[in-house]
Structure 1
Amino acid sequence: MKTNKRLMLSGDSKAQVGIGTLIIFIAMVLIAAVAASVLIQTSGVLQQQAQSTGNQATREVSSNLIIKSIEGVRAKNSSTIMASDISLMKVKVGLNVGSSPVDLNQLVISITDGSNTNSLLYANNAKTHGSSMADFSDSADASTNLEKLLTSNQSSPGVNARYFFTVQKIRDDDISVSQGNPIMNTGDLVTIYISTVSDGDLAYTSIGDITTSGSQKDSYLDVGPRSTVGMVLTPEAGATTIADFVTPSSYGTKEIISLYP
């Protein structure tokens, strides 16, 4: 005879009730909400920082000035009577493919002849440097500002040739480069003028297309034959551009000398 077996399921009918339990439940929900809010905020801040860092890193590697060529110009009285040194450098500059725009207002150029070094700013940056730009004009053409660079002496900061450079655009399809606001975009090409007048060049009457009548000022640089020249272009953002070269052993009868590359 089989024994009848019954399966009994025990039920737990007890539960916590009351105001205390409700308060604990609400507190747990609030804590979870606060924790979620903190995590969301933190992740948002980290994302913004990562994006900002990525953008800065991209600018550092993509904003590149390229020196296409450097030519030297000798001061002269005539086609046969010329200075023994380079009196003016014409630095042809463009942008690398995919580069971000470069504001030449913020460009700093350091140039050395092996003995002396000049750190140069753009000559029309009146917004940053104020009255020290008094000799230069936003509305003047490039040749007028170049003449001021070569021949003028201000009470502050002093001889223009020792503190400034000027720019003339060669190719500028989007009209972004002006004397007052020289912004280079991809495809733009400009010539940067750097005075290298030495004390032996002061008696000559012209430098390139500029008639100086012997009023050019000493830049403290001396770029004669076999000179070791170093040039560093440092933009506001992006990689620096460096050009190091040795001038030819003789300039011969040439007025314009190819120096780089």
Structure 2
Amino acid sequence: MMSYIRGKKGAMGIGTLIVFIAMVLVAAVAAAVLINTSGFLQQKAMATGKQSTEQVASGLYIKEIQGRYNTTNQISQLAIFITPNAGSAPIDLSQVKIQISNGTKTLILTYNSSFYSDNTSGTSDIFDVPTTANSSWALSNGTAITAYLPANNFGIIVLQDADGSCKANTPVIDSGDLVVLTINTGLNTVNLGLAPRTQVTGSVIPEFGAPAVISFVTPATYVLNSNTKDGVVTLQ
């Protein structure tokens, strides 16, 4: 009888051991799943936090908008002075879109690398359209203009770029850089219709980050200069 009882206790102990081992294995698998999941979630949260911070902190800031008017009594060239926001990540201007409207038509402009000029050494007139060299407003063959900046494109004039990051094919701006985005509103056959008292709205939209807002009303009249309506006015 005693031998039988001891045999039954041994069988019960083996069953308990099997259950215990199974519980340990299940706990180990569960722990591994939890550790892997928590690690994935941590990395995802860090990446999301970085992207959110970049989205909030980055963006463009418009320092000034100037326009040049001519004998047509309309603004023929628009220059938007932009710089990155404080703390912004580098911004690729080739991915920037400019949306601008005069209340009648809305244009969406993209960057055209053919209309680029580096004026970091200084310039006498950013609105100059030379016939002896390419500029941000027109192309030339050395003696005459061959093409004007298209209505659906904008050009770039680099005014300040300490690290040389803003090139024609890779126009990336970072902290401290200052560039001009050029828009043809009346040169040659292009006509956005920026006559006096025109309400202009829009934005400069980067690939990520906050867009820069365009909002101004053109002057009530364009002041005569040497008996011709030709001059520069600050719009915003």
Place the TM-score, normalised by the shorter chain, in its bin.
0.7 to 0.9
Aligned residue among 137, 153, 173 for 1:146: 137
Q: Give, in whole Å, the separation in 2 of the partners of 1:175 and 1:144.
A: 18
How far has the Cα of 1:29 moved from its partner? 1.4
How many angstroms apart in 2 are the aligned matches of 1:69 and 1:151? 30
Shift in alpha-carbon separation, 1:52–1:32, aligned structure 2, 3 A: same
State the Cα deviation string for residues 10-67 of structure 1 (Å, max 9, x = none).
Answer: xxxx67433x443322211111111001111111121122112211211111112110
For residue 189 of structure 2, what is the aligned residue in structure 1? 217
Q: Is the 8 A contact 1:151 1:217 kept in 2?
A: no
Q: Would the aligned equivalents of 1:161 and 1:217 in 2 still touch at CA under 8 Å?
A: no
Show the counterpart of 1:188: 177
Q: Which residue of 2 aligns with 1:69?
A: 64
After TM superposition, list the pairs within 5 Å mapping 1:58-97 onto structure 2: 58-75=53-70, 82-97=71-86
For the residue of structure 2 that corresponds to 1:162, the secondary structure is: coil
Give the CA deviation at 1:107.
0.3
Query: Take 1:61 and 1:151, find their aligned partners in 2: how far apart are those partners?
Result: 42
1:244 aligns with 2:235: no
- How many angstroms does 1:120 deviate by? 0.4
Superposition TM-score, scaled by structure 2 size: 0.79
d(CA) in 2 for partners of 1:145 and 1:229? 22
Q: Which has the larger radius of gyration?
A: 1
Distance across 2 between alignment mates of 1:173 and 1:243:
27
SS in 2 for 1:231: strand
Give, as a single letter, the amino acid of the residue that structure 2 aligns with 1:259.
Answer: L
Task: Map 1:112-127; keep pairs closer than 5 Å.
Answer: 112-124=101-113
Query: Which residue is 2:100 aligned to?
Result: 111
**Aligned residue among 6, 10, 17 for 2:13:** 17
CA displacement at 1:96 relative to structure 2: 1.6
Q: Hey, what's the Cα distance between the residues in 2 that align with 1:122 and 1:258?
A: 23
Match of 2:52 in 1: 57
Q: Which runs of 5+ in 1 are unaligned?
A: 1-13, 76-81, 125-135, 154-159, 202-215
What's the CA shift for 1:217? Answer: 2.7
* 1:131-210 matched pairs, under 5 angstroms: 136=114, 143-148=134-139, 152=147, 161-197=150-186
Secondary structure of 1:115's counterpart equals coil
**Deviation for aligned residue 1:152:** 3.3
Report the Cα distance in structure 1 between the residues aligned to 2:86 and 2:21, rounded to whole angstroms: 59
Identity %, equivalent residues: 39
| CA apart distance, 1:137 | 7.2
Q: Where in structure 2 are there 5+ consecutive unaligned residues? A: 1-8, 120-133, 226-230
Partners in 2 of 1:26 and 1:186 — Cα distance? 61
TM-score normalised by length of structure 1: 0.72
Q: Does 1:41 align with 2:30?
A: no
One-letter amino acid matched to 1:90: A
Query: Aligned AA for 1:119?
Result: I
- By percentage of residues, which structure has more strand? 2
Measured in 1, the distance between the counterparts of 2:106 and 2:146 equals: 20
Q: In the aligned structure 2, how far is the partner of 1:226 from the partner of 1:56?
A: 41
